Amino acid sequence: MEENTGASMGMGTALVRTAFLVDTVYSDSVRQFDLTVQQAQLLCVLIQRPFGMFELAKTLGLAKSSISGLVDRCEKRGLVRREADPGDGRAFRVALTEQGAQLAEEFHDETTKRVADLPLGLSAAEQEVLAGLLTRVVADNHVPVVFTDSGCPTAKDCTES
């Protein structure tokens, strides 16, 4: 396997390799918590609040049938529950159970720590610049809120500056 020598990379290469690095850390964390990537994403989205099925499918980028199966599997594990939608008597929302909320918080905190440790070779000022630039890239590309800072109880809180 080729080792990175620290030579400068183009933007595309640097971003793809960074995504690979983050995906590897995320996948390791998912395995430790006995979740699939999709289950972990679902739990982290639901930390904010209950979501309707359509909204979940849109946020996670999944087809309606895929989101239904994902919710079914998480419900069988006792991680989520369906609850009546107060705005539409025919619909329901998906919410975390107590067990699901605890697992989601533990997974979120551990994964955030692991990923945050990746740029430890940078100075504090460089880390702050990197975080600011990545925040802009995410905002400019309208990335759905599937993972928030622990200090952001809602998506609105995490996107307002």
Domain segments of the chain: what residues? 12-159
Location of structure tokens 């880390």: 127
Q: Structure tokens of 91? A: 């619909």
Q: Structure tokens of 36? A: 């699939």
**Which residues in the chain land under pLDDT 70?**
1-6, 150-161
> Where does 2-144 have alpha helices with state H?
11-32, 37-46, 53-60, 64-76, 98-116, 124-140
Give residue 152's pLDDT.
Answer: 46
Predicted TM-score (pTM) of this structure? 0.80
* Fold type of domain 12-159: Arc Repressor Mutant, subunit A (1.10.10)
